Amino acid sequence: MPSPRRNVDARPLAASASSSSSGPGSPAHGGGGGGGGGGGGGRFEFQSLLSSRAPGLDPTCTRLRASESPVHRRGSFPLAGAGPSQAPPAPLPEEDRMDLNPSFLGIALRSLLAIDLWLSKKLGVCAGESSSWGSMRPLMKLLEISGHGIPWLLGTLYCLSRSDSWAGREVLMNLLFALLLDLLLVALIKGLVRRRRPAHNQMDMFVTLSVDKYSFPSGHATRAALVSRFILNHLVLAIPLRVLVVLWAFILGLSRVMLGRHNVTDVAFGFFLGYTQYSIVDYCWLSPHNAPVLFLLWSQQ
Ligand SMILES: CC(C)=CCC/C(C)=C/CC/C(C)=C/COP(=O)(O)O
């Protein structure tokens, strides 16, 4: 649902004509059709509406022969009083042409974004104490801490310091590597994309980095997917516990939207990124064979 970047100037054409031919709002400047003319023909639809409906306009507009019509002369627009000696208006800037003629991909992305914003707002039922599920907010915030970077980093370091087997150390060393890689990638993408958190979010999170003012992707969702995949692959757990790990990851992701911290796409991409990060960690798996120095250093601590 593309929306024209500039509003349509509803002034009579004669009034428009008195201003600059490429001024804001003037069709020559790319002001799209008022009736939702974001499509390729929006500019000309707007022009023909004006020339056919507005009474009392300069007759030079209506006297235009078909061959002089702007439909035939792309990039120009007839102006009241504009004589043949006047230079034709400059052609539309490239970015305006793209705006008026959005690709299928552009429309699909904008529609997805609109659905995303609408759904995220609907699901943000714990965004504030006065929200419809506001009483659930403390529970959601507890879940938030369960997926925060600090407890996971400190917990891993603690277990590493207590581990007395090489196998245990190897797994924990890789978990530490995974958590650091996750922090780095999420910070990098947040800094590049710079998508603002939803307007209904209250910024009352426990210890954040400066990039955490941005929402894409959700760091909690990446960690949930990464850690749960890691646990499922490296810990021998009974089936009910495995189900619990998957449920935790899913509910943690959902809670990000319910708390109003994120839009749905932030969480969906976060899950995808976390899942992919595990594949990277698995591919670069650190062991005493390929990273002996790391393991020796740690064992001397
Ligand atoms: C070693 C180091 C740089 C630790 C920093 C740990 C830390 C403060 C992580 C931030 C975790 C956080 C609040 C992420 C934001 O999650 P979203 O789901 O809101 O994106």
Does 218 sit in the ligand 1 pocket, CB within 6 Å?
yes
6 has pLDDT over 70: no
**186 Cα: distance to centroid of ligand 1 (angstroms):** 9
Average pLDDT over residues 237-255: 98
Minimum CA distance residue for ligand 1 atom 12:
208
Query: 54-72: per-residue pLDDT in tens?
Result: 444 443 333 333 333 333 3
Residues contacting residue 132 through CB under 8 Å, at least 6 positions apart: 125
48 has pLDDT over 60: no
**43 Cα: distance to centroid of ligand 1 (angstroms):** 47
Does 209 sit in the ligand 1 pocket, CB within 6 Å?
yes
The answer, yes or no, to whether the previous bond of 217 is cis (omega within 30 of 0) is yes
**pTM score of the predicted model:** 0.69
192 has pLDDT over 80: yes
Q: Which residues are catalytic?
A: 220, 262
47 has pLDDT over 90: no
Mean pLDDT for all residues in the chain: 77
Probe target for ligand 1 pocket from 145, 182, 183, 262, with the most ligand atoms within 8 Å of CB: 183
Probe target for ligand 1 pocket from 144, 150, 251, 257, with the most ligand atoms within 8 Å of CB: 150
228 has pLDDT over 50: yes
Output the six-digit token pair for 24: 């804001």
Side-chain-side CA neighbours of residue 56 (13 Å): 3
Average pLDDT over residues 254-278: 98
Average pLDDT over residues 175-201: 97
Atom of ligand 1 nearest to the CA of 215: 20
Q: How far apart are CA 53 and CA 57, in angstroms?
A: 9
pLDDT at 225: 98
In this prediction, residue 88 has a pLDDT band, given cuts at 50, 70 and 90, of low
The radius of gyration computed from the CA coordinates of the chain, to the nearest angstrom, equals: 29
46 has pLDDT over 80: no
In this prediction, residue 301 has a pLDDT band, given cuts at 50, 70 and 90, of low
Probe target for ligand 1 pocket from 141, 148, 195, with the most ligand atoms within 8 Å of CB: 148
ipTM above 0.85, yes or no: yes
Q: How far apart are CA 160 and CA 166, in angstroms?
A: 10
In this prediction, residue 296 has a pLDDT band, given cuts at 50, 70 and 90, of confident
pLDDT at 65: 37
Report, in this order, helix, strand and coil percent for the chain, each rounded to 5. 60, 0, 40
In this prediction, residue 294 has a pLDDT band, given cuts at 50, 70 and 90, of confident
109 has pLDDT over 70: yes
Side-chain-side CA neighbours of residue 63 (13 Å): 8
Q: How far apart are CA 45 and CA 66, in angstroms?
A: 15
144 has pLDDT over 50: yes
**149 Cα: distance to centroid of ligand 1 (angstroms):** 5
pLDDT at 97: 55
Does 144 sit in the ligand 1 pocket, CB within 6 Å?
no
pLDDT at 94: 59
